[in-house]
Structure formats: structure tokens, C-alpha cells
Structure 1
Amino acid sequence: MLPLNKPLRKALRKEEGAIITLNLEFDVDFKIEMPDDLEICLADEESLLEQFLSMPKSHQNYFINWLNTAKTEPTRTKRLVMIVNAMYHKQDFGAMIRTNKS
């Protein structure tokens, strides 16, 4: 059972309690393109790149999407530094964000 909120039901033109069929497929072609600047920073120390690549692809994607959403170059640079530090401390994305909140 998968509950759907009212806006989604409306978009599907389904009433509350209606039955719908959902097909899920495994994305075997899922690839993550690592930005060049991130790869260069992580490649400075082999262990950092290994740490990043050892994470599940979904976790790698969190870091990459977050980096790519930076609107200015100083923000992107700050995020690169945070990602490198996170790999050094073997932190996942959530731990990195919590550590840098203060």
C-alpha cells in the first residue's frame, strides 16, 4: 500500500481509496558524472577518492547534486572543501551537513 496525497491523486484523476497500478524498474544504467573539480580535489589523496567511490551511488549523488546547485563560485569552492573534509573524516552527506551547521 502506497498512500498518495491529494495533489497527486488530483493529477492522476483518482479519488481517495481508488486502486492504481504501479510498475517499478531497476535502473541498471544509473551513472553519476563526477564533476572535474571534485575529482581533481579528491584525487590529491588516493584515500579520499576511494572513500567517495566506496559510498553507495545514491550517497555520491547527494554530494554531487549539492555541489552542482551552488550558484556562485565561492559557494562551490566552499562546498568542495566541505566534501573533501567529509571524505577525510569518512562522513556521509548528512553527517557532513550536521558537522558544518555550527
Structure 2
Amino acid sequence: MPTLDPRVDAYIAQAAPFAQAILTHLRAVVHQTCPAVEETMKWSFPHFMYKGMLCSMAAFKAHCALNFWKAELLMGDAAQRDAMGQFGRITALEDLPPVAQLQSYLQQAMQLNDDGVAQPRARTPRSTSVTLPDDLREALAQQAAAQQHFAAFSPSKQRDYIEWLEEAKTETTRTRRREQAVAWIAEGKARNWKYEK
């Protein structure tokens, strides 16, 4: 007999009628395929755990979503969708793959967790190019030491100064920050030098 979390019961009960049928169906398929699954609530929607995260389901105003935690490993490029889950916006049971296909995905996800395969983390490459605002460029050009130190800074240290300058809400604040920045840069100090050890 499956172990049901009363919070998931409450979540389903509070969903729109169309969503209740979808969520109840998904829950039954998960429990049928993986009797050892544990239910929990994370980020305010139901998750199914089996030796780690297996999958989750969610209800919205006009659709539901089913999300496999390691979808890229299960489905490759087909896992990329606009909606929250890998199956797009689910508005009716007919929008879901057949039960056999869902069970296959669940079995594969279980095997990945059994084998201890980690979810690959997508790293967003950060640009190494930095766009220098004209006013900072001109201020640095007037002090050779500041210009030399700034050029030697890593892109992230350069961005720290640029972002601090561009976050100023008034021109007075921007001017004061620019003057302070040039003084610190001329001394070879990073923007947050006070916190460096």
C-alpha cells in the first residue's frame, strides 16, 4: 500500500477540477511504477522521492506540469520545453504520454538514482568582455595608474566597479562613485577590497 502525504492530498483537493484528474492520475502512475516512492512538498508543490528526487507535478490556473528531475538524461533534447515540465502545458489527460511511456521514464529515472548518477549542471558561460561606460573610461584615462590597474583586473573585478557605477540612481551619486572608484583603482584595490583578506 503506497504511503501518501496528506499535504499532497490537500494540494490536489485545492487544484481546479481539470487539474485534480491529471494530478490524481500522475500520482497513481508514480506509485504503481515505484512502490518505494516517498511523497513530499518542496517549493509548494508535490515531489516524488526515490533515493533522491525523481519527479514532481504542479497545477496552475490553466494547466498542469510534470517534471523529471534528470529529464536531460532521460529524454535528451526533447526534455527542453517552454512550460515548467517536459511535456508542455498539460490541460487534459490526453496531453500526457501513454501510461507505458510514463512508466518507462519513471523506471529509467529510478535506475539513474539507483546508480547514483548526478544531474548534470548546466553552466552558463559568463562573458569575459566588459563594456566600459564612457564616463569611467574618461576618468581612468586621466590617471595612468588607475588605467593600468583597471586593465590588469579580471573581468569580474572590472564588472564589480561598472555595476556599482551603473546602479547609481542620481547623477550626483554616480559622480561620487566614479571619483571613489578611480581613487581605489589607482591604488590597485578591487571594488570590495575592504572584505578581502
What is the TM-score with the length of structure 2 in the denominator? Answer: 0.39
SS state at 1:93 partner? coil
1:70-92 deviation line (CA, Å, top 9, x unaligned): 00010000000110110122111
1:71 paired residue among 153, 169, 172: 169
What is the CA-CA distance between 1:56 and the residue it aligns to? 0.6
d(CA) in 2 for partners of 1:30, 1:75: 27
The structure whose residues are more often helix, as a share, is 1
Tell me whether 1:38 sits opposite 2:71 in the alignment. no
d(CA) in 2 for partners of 1:88, 1:14: 53
Tell me: higher relative CO, structure 1 or 2? Use CA pairs within 8 A at least 6 residues apart: 1
Which is higher, the Rg of structure 1 or of structure 2?
A: 2
User: 2:147–2:186: 8 Å Cα contact kept in structure 1?
Assistant: no
What is the CA-CA distance between 1:43 and the residue it aligns to? 0.3
Q: Structure 2: any 5+ residue segments left out of the alignment?
A: 1-41, 54-68, 71-118
d(CA) in 2 for partners of 1:90, 1:61: 15
1:14-68 deviation line (CA, Å, top 9, x unaligned): 66742653222544x5321100000000001222111011011001001000100
d(CA) in 1 for partners of 2:175, 2:136: 10
Q: Structure 1: any 5+ residue segments left out of the alignment?
A: 1-8
User: 2:140–2:182: 8 Å Cα contact kept in structure 1?
Assistant: yes
d(CA) in 2 for partners of 1:36, 1:14: 50
d(CA) in 1 for partners of 2:144, 2:179: 16
2:159 partner amino acid: N
> Displaced runs of 4+ in structure 1, greater than 6 A?
none
2:145 paired residue among 32, 38, 47: 47
The structure whose residues are more often strand, as a share, is 2
Aligned residues: 87
CA spacing shift, 1:74–1:15, aligned 2, 3 Å: farther
2:123 paired residue among 5, 24, 41: 24
d(CA) in 1 for partners of 2:167, 2:184: 18
d(CA) in 1 for partners of 2:155, 2:141: 18
CA spacing shift, 1:14–1:65, aligned 2, 3 Å: farther
d(CA) in 2 for partners of 1:56, 1:14: 41
d(CA) in 2 for partners of 1:52, 1:86: 10
The percent of aligned pairs where both chains have the same amino acid is 26
d(CA) in 1 for partners of 2:48, 2:164: 36
